[in-house]
Amino acid sequence: MSEPGKQETTQHVSHGSFPAPKLPYRPRDPRAYRPGIGLVGCGGITFEHLSAYRGAGYNVVALCDLDPKRAKKRREEFYPKAKIYRDHEELIADAKVEVVDVTTHPPQRPPILEAAIRARKHVLSQKPYTTDLDDGERLANLADEHRVKLAVNQNGRWAPHFSYLRHAVAEGLIGELTSAHFSVHWDHNWVAGTPFDDVRHLILYDFAIHWFDMLMCLVGKRHVHRVSASFRRSKTQAAKPALLGQAIVDLDGAQASLVFDGDTHFAPLDQAYVTGSLGTIHSVGNDLKSQTLTLTTARGSTQPELVGKWFPDGFHGTMAELLCAIEEDREPTNSARNNLASLALCFAAVESAERGRPVVPGTVRKLPEEAVD
């Protein structure tokens, strides 16, 4: 567990022609704020949530699930003193709960988020926090009205390589961004026979939202003109939804591409290649947890020794940022309002794949129903 309030950076060890810049890519815990956290929904992904929270020393006081057995299982695994609820409204009403972590499926989230906000509880929502941009803006405004923080669990932002990458770009280490290219080649056929097997846009919607979000973190306020996307079934895949997807993004003075090959059975590869006027960052590995990142500038090349893994550090990072924002009375960097641009790009890509034409982000206000059914 990191010392509260202390920001971990890279280790002193690095390889290359110059020392790797030390950047604050590790999750930063609040200095003193340790509120009671209530978890709504105790499905499979919450193993990562609770692993991260326990490792960080966070205080989970309540667990809620429509199936009490699942909540009790998580209590036994992680927080033996936590109260068990079947009704989320009862958890929200618990005076010991100050922060509500909502991990239910997207259709069930909005009313839970709204109930927590109206009860003046701070909220962390699993991604995507909404499938309707107008409703997303309404919830963000509602949180402002009730003076609470609404953040989104875009945990990929705190994967060590992605976190170092976004900090490096934000600090101008590679100058003016000119391109960003992401490619993921892996086997996603594990979804066959699971509820995910019924999600039509499993790749561009459920999976690629992390990469759309990372791209928007890198480009900041730069205007996105259009996105062109496609999806296709592989002839050899076992899963029902198309496991091949790609998108080309046209930006002011830059371009980006995202390629997802979810039916790769041998030699998996995951990489990000980001170029700028002063340098290039290339991160590559055989999976998303094991990455080697290289920064190249006029000084030469360097490779920081990155600490941590996407799981569970990404889940630590999202909650840590929310808690720090509450303690420091500011907007979280992973706020719901900040996340709207990423959702707009994702929704536009799905629409483009369905219609076979370029789409301007923001013009598609709702995620097409066929994307999740």
For strand 59-64 and strand 83-85, is the pairing parallel, antiparallel, or unpaired?
Answer: parallel
- The candidate with the shortest Cα–Cα distance to 318, out of 111, 110, 163, 91, is 163
The confidence score (pLDDT) of residue 190 equals 97
For strand 150-153 and strand 122-126, is the pairing parallel, antiparallel, or unpaired?
Answer: parallel
Q: In the predicted model, what is the mean pLDDT of the chain? A: 95
The confidence score (pLDDT) of residue 13 equals 61
The pLDDT tens digits for 237-283 are: 999 999 999 999 999 999 999 999 999 999 999 999 999 999 999 99
Task: For residue 21, say if its preceding peptide bond is cis, omega within 30 degrees of 0.
Answer: no
Tokens of 166: 């976004």
294-332 per-residue burial string, b: 16 or more CB within 10 A, e: under 16: bbbbeeebbbbebebebbbbbbbbbbbbbbbbbbeeebb
16-31 per-residue burial string, b: 16 or more CB within 10 A, e: under 16: eeeebbebebbbbbbe
Bridge-partner residues for 224, per DSSP?
Answer: 251
266 Cβ neighbours under 8 A, 6+ residues apart: none
The confidence score (pLDDT) of residue 1 equals 37
The confidence score (pLDDT) of residue 9 equals 46
39-43, 104-108, 339-343 — which is least confidently predicted? 104-108
**Residue listed under structure tokens 């080697």:** 292
Tokens of 238: 């076992």
The confidence score (pLDDT) of residue 372 equals 67
Mean pLDDT of 365-369: 87
Q: Flag whether pLDDT at 233 surpasses 90.
A: yes
The confidence score (pLDDT) of residue 3 equals 37
Q: Flag whether pLDDT at 338 surpasses 90.
A: yes
Rounded to an integer, what distance in angstroms lies between the CA atom of residue 72 and that of residue 83? 9
The pLDDT tens digits for 28-66 are: 999 999 999 999 999 999 999 999 999 999 999 999 999
Q: Flag whether pLDDT at 4 surpasses 70.
A: no
The confidence score (pLDDT) of residue 71 equals 98
For strand 279-285 and strand 122-126, is the pairing parallel, antiparallel, or unpaired?
Answer: unpaired
The answer to whether the beta carbons of residues 83 and 92 sit under 8 Å apart is no
Q: Flag whether pLDDT at 318 surpasses 90.
A: yes
290 Cβ neighbours under 8 A, 6+ residues apart: none
- The pTM of the full predicted model, rounded to 2 decimals, is 0.95
Mean pLDDT of 163-182: 98
Mean pLDDT of 95-116: 96
The answer to whether the beta carbons of residues 131 and 106 sit under 8 Å apart is yes
Q: Flag whether pLDDT at 5 surpasses 60.
A: no
Rounded to an integer, what distance in angstroms lies between the CA atom of residue 209 and that of residue 369? 16
The pLDDT tens digits for 114-133 are: 999 999 999 999 999 999 99
The confidence score (pLDDT) of residue 15 equals 81
For strand 224-232 and strand 83-85, is the pairing parallel, antiparallel, or unpaired?
Answer: unpaired
171 Cβ neighbours under 8 A, 6+ residues apart: 21, 23
**pLDDT-based confidence at residue 12 (cuts at 50, 70, 90):** very low
The answer to whether the beta carbons of residues 344 and 133 sit under 8 Å apart is yes
